[in-house]
Amino acid sequence: MVINEHFKTWQQFLLKKYNEGFLLVLYSKNNEADVWEVFDKHPEMVLAKEHIAAHRINWNNKPDNVQALARELNVGVDSFIFIDDSAFEIEQMQGAQPGVCCLQLPTDDNDLNDFAKHTWEFDVYKTTGEDALRNSLYRTEKARKTEEEKHTSYNEFLQSLQIKVTCRNLQESDIDRALQLSIRTNQFNMNGVPKSREEIVRTICNSQYLGWVIEVTDRFGDYGTVGLVLGNLNGPTLYLDSFLLSCRVLGRGVEKTVWD
């Protein structure tokens, strides 16, 4: 197998996206051992197996594989960018999974660099610390899933995690992450109304408003900043405006801990 300079540059671009917080997943109609041999032994490979958050290397159709990977990663299929050099595979994905963004690689290798630079779906306008940690967080989550299989009940598994929940006052350094949570969180979101940067800043500057960020850790590691609570105070009464949690901690009892 030949990896020319154009494909090395393409891999370097993907590695840059990995460091910006994109999750790289691999679909391939192939023999799995052959694929990993290229990763392990080819001297021109830039990407390594450790950069791949999840994979489906089999002979199944790719729309079914993207559905399985969405379940594995606990994300929506509409968060995927599907890239393939086959017009047939692109058409099949568009027909079966219309929520997936589909991009066909250029037929001429010389155009790969321009394809990477000028495709807006790859753009990142601001990277938070949480984004940079995303791949590490998913690897830790895989370790948790392996641990879960060792327990006979889910409650027993939760107890074994030794989860700790911290609620602290929203600070200026949290604004980008709070804004990101407000815009992206949809599974556990009290009212589903995204907040503007100005609305979030107001909770820091005005004593009438309450702003908390929620951080979670367990014995496997840090989940990061996973929740936001916004409200306003009227005497002894708190009017709760926003309460949201990232999907990565759903089912872990975090919402009950915060509420208590």
Q: Residue ranges of the domains in the chain?
A: 5-124, 134-259
In terms of C-beta density within 10 A (0-12 exposed, 13-18 middle, 19 or more buried), how is residue 178 classed? buried
pLDDT of residue 125: 65
CA-to-CA distance for 28 and 11, rounded, in angstroms?
Answer: 16
CA distances from 211 to 144, 198, 207 (A): 30, 13, 10
b or e along 206-230 (b: 16 or more beta carbons within 10 Å of the residue's beta carbon)? eeebbbbbbbbebebeebbbbbbbb
SS3 category, 227: strand
* Fold for the domain defined by 5-124: Rossmann fold (3.40.50)
* Beta strands in the chain, from DSSP E residues, in sequence order: 24-29, 52-58, 81-84, 101-104, 164-169, 188-189, 209-218, 221-234, 237-245
Please enumerate in sequence order all residues whose Cβ is within 8 A of that of 47, keeping only pairs 6 or more positions apart, or say none: 11, 14, 15, 24, 39
Nearest residue to 248 via CA among 166, 156, 138: 138
Domain over 134-259 is classified CATH 3.40.630: yes
Per-residue pLDDT of the chain (260 residues; tens, 9 = 90+): 788 899 999 999 999 999 888 999 999 999 999 999 999 999 999 999 999 999 999 999 999 999 999 888 878 888 899 999 999 999 999 999 999 999 999 999 899 999 998 898 888 766 666 776 778 888 888 889 889 999 999 999 999 999 999 999 999 999 999 999 998 888 899 888 899 999 999 888 888 888 999 999 999 999 989 999 999 888 788 888 899 999 889 889 999 999 87
pTM for this predicted structure: 0.67
CA-to-CA distance for 151 and 125, rounded, in angstroms?
Answer: 42
